[in-house]
Structure 1
């Protein structure tokens, strides 16, 4: 048969002509790309959001809307983003030149990515300070004898009653005249031995509610919450230092481009899984862990009738996979034009979902132990968001043997999981801008200056989050 008359079995796709394409960096290997995508997708939301949503929305039944939303929404969008970036060899802004009508999407993703970095780095700074406190200060959230503690600091209302009431039901006589309990730190209140052993039930302090030391450490020392929105407070020194350290680390993770950051992810992506498995084994061997895992998994299919469950499933898919903010487009843009990104997308989505599920076991085994130790229902200890990782889990750690070790491991895991997402988002913003000025910014020196400027302004922006 003549060559001209042979039937075509495939369509040969040609790469569009791109300015300075040969000067644009590419991944050293596909493993670098795969690990970077996993680091971008797996973040803090896998630890503090998915387990609670699963528990809140019907346990194992929540996996139905989650998986449906993953296959119907999350995977197609991830494929689109990586494929678009790979085809155009451009970041989120320039990739949408493929259809000028959609260029507004590129602008929106650029703004979303930059704004996401600013608050994400702040959260990582909180975790970094907790890790520092675990190493240098022991477990400071485990006791009430610190400068930031108030008179209400106690692990239970019963303990608070014993501390504040005399056998006659009066305040401690050793408090100096003119002072009130409300404006005194606990370490400045001298208590009689009789207060510790009081059994009086008619104490006039019976209406005072105890505040756990973990809560006071978080609110009074770490973020130093002010009394009102009108009181901006001053810069919290420890947070300012941690923010500066975080931005310096992020800068040195991406300053030399993807060939450098592609090597960083070999450690920052893989080592958190080692720690997560250690924490899972430790949690599973604690008393009450089985009850916590039961709460996490027990299916309640009646919850599927609630529209909010399906909304939570969809938002978790997009939130945890870090899609629709342009980062995946930028990562895909550093691929070789003929890379099989379909296979990599499947792997990333599978590992991201598996990490969420594994985190649920690790978190709820500890919550079950905590509920068992306090003799309360797990509803009273289960939380989502920052409250889980900065209050509930640290409090649970104080109840374990070797609490300092588990605190260090937990916050090291959070730090490594989070910094991946942080520097990938910075890399995405750098790609957005450098693609607009390829002749100047594709060069190593130009890229380093651009990255330094972005990190500098990001640091200044984040200082707005430092006042108490």
Structure 2
């Protein structure tokens, strides 16, 4: 059957990825194309490629998948789990989950989307009983956009505050600082048990747990956290403005973006531009990797960096007996690769029919998972330097719950870099583009 057209007994023709760009699946039969119902079913199966177009090259596919899968979960959530789950021990169940969960799901979503050319809401029409899966994916992506924009609003604020040579989280002379604020250069004068300690004991006087300048900036300036749930506090207007800016930037990148990545290939007069929501992928997939490499190179040259890297690589074998480490590793695969959220299906729906899906379904998940580990090296190298400066031997000392890993620990590390303001601008720019990339694709 010709790759240029589908011939029907009625004499009408349907273009399908014409010319030498594509091949028509030989399993499709169009002997009854003269029937209106058959013609409709055929067009649904082909995904109306005549209207949608396809990616011009494999590079566009890879960059779009990379932009979606490599996000804040790789660089914020993964390092925290590695710390809390025993360092190198977490890498073992994470790798097992990658091959048992991540790659099979990634392959399935690439396959059904590339074959049908349909998005997550329509692709499950192939099996009507699964129609609800597409709507669940849409719901998950919607929720993801909400909390990603909140994190991106925080990042925007840090980015703006970085444009001053004396970073506000590098000292305790700000209006929001308390008498208990300290900087790491002075930490040697404080006993380690007083720093972020959970030790129980009896004392003869009142004691105070001190907070670093970066932590107080996060709690009292960025979040403006109240004393308790019984105090409502006031509207945090600077965060409101940052949140609005985050939504506006996401919207602009979704409808505009870099025109070159939006190109799609279809023969002759049917050549069209693919969806603009993937248009920023060239920029947001490459630049963050460059910034992270710069930070990593600088991190490993700092004194004590290998103390943190050693913890990241050397496993605590007793942790492997815990169910929690395995469940957290399996869950992290969904944050590292992004399956079951609809983005992979959306990107793959623009693939050419003969795109090498088996290669992508194996190579790309491995690369995306390695990016998480790569980010872990950057984080643990700077944490090792903080351990060296503070004289604290436990990595757990520097752990902050949730997103505080980036918004407390990283700023502390950036303070130690020559030209810290420049490094801070670059880092938070990288972090923002990571979140933006996932937002645009989702």
TM-score of the aligned structures, taking structure 1 as reference length: 0.74
Aligned mates of 2:77, 2:59 — CA distance in 1: 28
5+ residue gaps, structure 1, are: 1-10, 163-203, 426-468
Aligned mates of 2:69, 2:163 — CA distance in 1: 29
Q: 2:75 aligns with which of 47, 57, 63?
A: 47
Cα 1:404–1:340 change in 2 (3 A) is same
Say which SS state the counterpart of residue 366 (structure 1) adopts. helix
Q: Which residue of 2 aligns with 1:245?
A: 245
Cα 1:99–1:288 change in 2 (3 A) is same
Q: Which residue of 2 aligns with 1:124?
A: 152
Aligned residue-pair number: 375
Aligned mates of 2:165, 2:385 — CA distance in 1: 25
Aligned mates of 2:415, 2:89 — CA distance in 1: 32
Indicate the larger mover: 135-144 or 303-312.
Answer: 135-144
Q: Which residue of 1 aligns with 2:404?
A: 387
- Say whether the 8 Å CA contact 2:185–2:389 is kept in structure 1: no
2:51 is the counterpart of 1:37 = no
- Say whether the 8 Å CA contact 1:48–1:384 is kept in structure 2: no
1:50-88 Cα shifts (integer Å, max 9, x gaps): 223234434333322112111111111111112222222
Aligned mates of 2:88, 2:244 — CA distance in 1: 41
Q: 2:296 aligns with which of 274, 280, 289?
A: 280
Q: Which residue of 2 aligns with 1:213?
A: 213
- The structural deviation recorded for 1:109 is 1.0
Q: Which residue of 2 aligns with 1:367?
A: 383
Aligned mates of 2:42, 2:378 — CA distance in 1: 47
- The structural deviation recorded for 1:44 is 1.2
Q: Which residue of 2 aligns with 1:357?
A: 373
- The structural deviation recorded for 1:206 is 5.7
Q: Which residue of 1 aligns with 2:194?
A: none
- The structural deviation recorded for 1:252 is 1.9
**Aligned-pair Cα RMSD in Å:** 2.7
Aligned mates of 2:187, 2:169 — CA distance in 1: 17
- The structural deviation recorded for 1:158 is 7.8
Q: Which residue of 2 aligns with 1:452?
A: none
- Say whether the 8 Å CA contact 1:152–1:160 is kept in structure 2: no
Aligned mates of 1:82, 1:384 — CA distance in 2: 34
1:107-135 Cα shifts (integer Å, max 9, x gaps): 11111111110110110111111011011
Q: 2:182 aligns with which of 132, 145, 154?
A: 154
Q: Which residue of 1 aligns with 2:167?
A: 139
Q: Which residue of 1 aligns with 2:26?
A: 12
Aligned mates of 2:188, 2:425 — CA distance in 1: 29
* 1:47-126 alignment runs, 5 A limit: 47-126=75-154
Q: 1:402 aligns with which of 398, 419, 437?
A: 419
Cα 1:127–1:305 change in 2 (3 A) is same
Q: Which residue of 2 aligns with 1:348?
A: 364
Say which SS state the counterpart of residue 141 (structure 1) adopts. coil
* 1:195-206 alignment runs, 5 A limit: none
Indicate the larger mover: 67-76 or 340-349.
Answer: 340-349
5+ residue gaps, structure 2, are: 1-24, 29-40, 191-203, 257-261, 263-273
Q: Which residue of 1 aligns with 2:38?
A: none
- Say whether the 8 Å CA contact 1:157–1:209 is kept in structure 2: no
1:329-351 Cα shifts (integer Å, max 9, x gaps): 11111222332222222232122
Aligned mates of 1:229, 1:270 — CA distance in 2: 42
Structure with the largest fraction of helix: 1
Indicate the larger mover: 228-237 or 348-357.
Answer: 228-237
Cα 1:72–1:153 change in 2 (3 A) is same
2:331 is the counterpart of 1:305 = no
Cα 1:41–1:155 change in 2 (3 A) is same
- The structural deviation recorded for 1:268 is 0.9
1:424-463 Cα shifts (integer Å, max 9, x gaps): 11xxxxxxxxxxxxxxxxxxxxxxxxxxxxxxxxxxxxxx
Q: 1:376 aligns with which of 392, 413, 432?
A: 392
Cα 1:159–1:269 change in 2 (3 A) is closer
